[in-house]
Amino acid sequence: MAKSDLLGGSLWDEYSDKVTTLMNNPLNQGEITEETAVANGHKLIVADFGAESCGDAVRLYWEVNPESEIIVDAKFKSFGCGTAIASSDMMVELCRGKTVDQAVKITNIDVEMALRDEPGTPAVPPQKMHCSVMAYDVIKKAASLYKGVDVDSFEDEIIVCECARVSLGTLQEVIKLNDLKSVAEITDYTKAGGFCKSCIKPGGHEDREYYLVDILADVRREMDEEKMAAAADAGSAGDFKAMTLVQKIKAIDEVIDESVRQFLVMDGGNMEVIDIKDADPYIDVYIRYLGACNGCASSTTGTLYAIETTLKEKLTPDIRVLPI
């Protein structure tokens, strides 16, 4: 039967040939009985998962060798649309022959990619991407039953876009690193929001805890606050060359008090800033040693170098320190 005979128009053309073939002729549909697994000396795992957003459900059967933890056989039953059948069938194909630990690493993206005819062409339309997510979720459920752990233990990140498996941390980092300003840019960089679109903003086919519009707004606000803080710091201590003479002396005294003076005092000495002069491209800082530092041999070598290096690091590399 031709695609146009079933759905007609361009929508049907959005499904890959692999998907349409498996819709009607799944290769791994069926069940594995307890008797069969036991007879083979294996363990049977039966996992169920349902998608609240569309009412589809899938049951996954694993026959696992308990010694090697290899999934020696797998089957599925799907209660849903043709895309759910195709996704479940491919999911089973990907599981078979792998260990449980390897299988739990199979993502919905792996399932969707395996269903593509061409690497760059999606296998299903965006609104059907959730079917491959359901296949991913039932794998986690089966693995949790086998290992006797909570299914959430397989997730160590907050997933915002289930379709593209993009985490909150990844989104925040990508927005900051690339200075993204729109949801469209986020989708270009991460694929988040490019499929069912429920994660973009409230009002999609399912409610989400996090939405791209809110994440973008929060990160942009944080970036703006960081820029304002940096600008404030620059205004108070940053552009040393742009400061007035009084501001320069104050800034130098603060650095000396914080990082230098205590060491001079410990040896019975001290210092004071006498004058600051512009000597393009340098800024010459004239100092006078006090107490034991006055006349000390290191006042023109090691001590002078330490003072100058500290001021260069804290204020500007153009500083030269000249004792008088």
Q: Which residues are catalytic?
A: 54, 131
DSSP state of 29: B
- Do you find a cis peptide bond into 281, omega within 30 degrees of 0? yes
CA distances from 309 to 157, 255, 256, 257, 293 (A): 44, 11, 11, 15, 18
State how far the Cα of 211 lies from the Cα of 193, in Å rounded to an integer: 9
Helix (H) or strand (E) run with residue 249 in it:
helix 245-259
Give one DSSP letter per residue of 286-311, joined into a string: EEEEEETTTT-GGGGTHHHHHHHHHH
State how far the Cα of 171 lies from the Cα of 180, in Å rounded to an integer: 10
Tokens standing for 34?
Answer: 């307890």
Q: Find the length of the chain.
A: 324
State how far the Cα of 234 lies from the Cα of 196, in Å rounded to an integer: 45
Q: Given 3-state DSSP classes, what are the helix, strand and coil percentages for the chain, each rounded to the nearest 5?
A: 50, 20, 30
State how far the Cα of 90 lies from the Cα of 70, in Å rounded to an integer: 18
Please write down the long-range contacts of 105-110, taking CB distance under 8 Å and 24 or more positions apart. 106/136, 106/139, 107/136, 107/165, 108/132, 108/133, 108/135, 108/136, 108/162, 108/163, 108/165, 109/164, 109/165
Reported as half-sphere exposure (CB side, CA atoms, 13 A), residue 190 has a value of: 30
State how far the Cα of 198 lies from the Cα of 84, in Å rounded to an integer: 18
H helices of 148-193, in order, are 168-178, 183-190
